[in-house]
Structure 1
Amino acid sequence: MSTAKPISPIRKAWYQWKALRFPWRKRFLIGLDLHGNTYWEFRLVRGDPSLPDSRFRRIVKYPRSIHYSEVKVPPQWHQWLRYQREQAPTLDEQASEVVRQERMKLLAAEADARWEAKPRLSDVPGREKGQPVPALNTGQTQPQERAARESPTRNEQNEVTQQKDDPWKQARSTGPGETWQPEAWSPASTRKR
C-alpha cells in the first residue's frame, strides 16, 4: 500500500529541506506515514542539549483535509511518539506491516471457514448436514406397534398396577385440586408478656 496521494517532487524536496538539522531550527521533520501524516521533533528551548528542558518533543501533524475522528496513527509511529522506540519507522517497514495485517486477515478468514465447516454438538441434526432426524415422543407417534406387541389383558393389568403405584395420581387425588383458592390470613391474637 502506498500513501493516499503520491508525493510530488516539490513536496519531497520540501520534506528533505525540513528534515535537515540546522542549529537555528527549532523543529525537524522525522518522517511520514502511509496515511499522509507527518512526524516532527522539536525542542522547547534552543541551545545546550545537556539541559533537562532540552529533551525533544514528538508530535504528529495530519493533513488539513482529514477530520479529527479520521486521523489514524500506525502502531510503529505511536511507539515512536511515546519514546518506546528510538528510531522512526521507515516507509518500507510500514508497507510490510500493512502486508502482514492483510495476510493475517486472510488466514483468520480461512480459519473461520474451517471452523464453520466442522459439525457442532449444539446443531440440530438433519437439515443442514444431511443426518437423519430422530423421532421425538416415540411412545405417542407409534401407538399401533406397541399395542400389537402387548396383549390386551396385559395392558389392563398394567393400567391397574400403574394406578396403584403411580405417586402422581395419588398426589392429585389427595391434593387441593384445580378449584382450590387460597384463603385470607387471619392471625390469632396473642397475649402480651
Structure 2
Amino acid sequence: MSGPVRPQQFGALRRAANKAFDFLMGKKEVGRDAVGNIYFQWYEGSGEGRVEKREVQWATAYMYYDPNDIPPEWRMWLRKQREQPPTEEELARSAAQRHQMAARVAALDEKERLRRQRQEAMGTPDQHAGAQPDMARFIQQMGGKADGGAAAPGPEAPKRPSGPSEGYKPDSWKPGA
C-alpha cells in the first residue's frame, strides 16, 4: 500500500538525528495503514518497570492531521485494547465491510428520498418530518368540546372505587387493635 507522499517537515540533519534517536530507543516500525500513517512500538525502562510504548507518525504535515484518519483496528492497538497489530487481511476485510455499509446507507437514503417525493406528489403530510397533530380531531376523539369548554359527560360517570379504605380515618387505627 502506498499512501500520499509525506511532506518534509524538517531538514535532512534533523531527520537523520530523529532516525538515530529512534534506533537508540529501540523503536521499530510495526505497520502502515492505507492513508500512509506509520505505527511504532518500543519499550522504556528495564526489568519490572519495563513499559511498552506505541505511537503513530502521521502522514500529513504537522497540525493538519485528522484523528479520524486512523482505522479502528489501529486505534485499538494504540490504546492497548488489543495485543497484536492488525494484519493486512484484517484491514482489507474491515475496509470492505465499511464500503458495504456505506452502500447500504446510500440505498436506504435513496429509498427514503423517493418515499418523500411520492408523498409530496400525493399531497399527504409527512408524519415524520415535524408535521403537527390535528388538535380539533384529537379533542373530538377524547370526548371534549373543540371550543375549549368542559368535556361533555359520557353515558356513565366514573364511580369511585369502594373498598376497605372507604371509611378510613387516620387517627382511628392503632397498632395491634
Larger radius of gyration: 1
Give the TM-score, by structure 2 length.
0.49
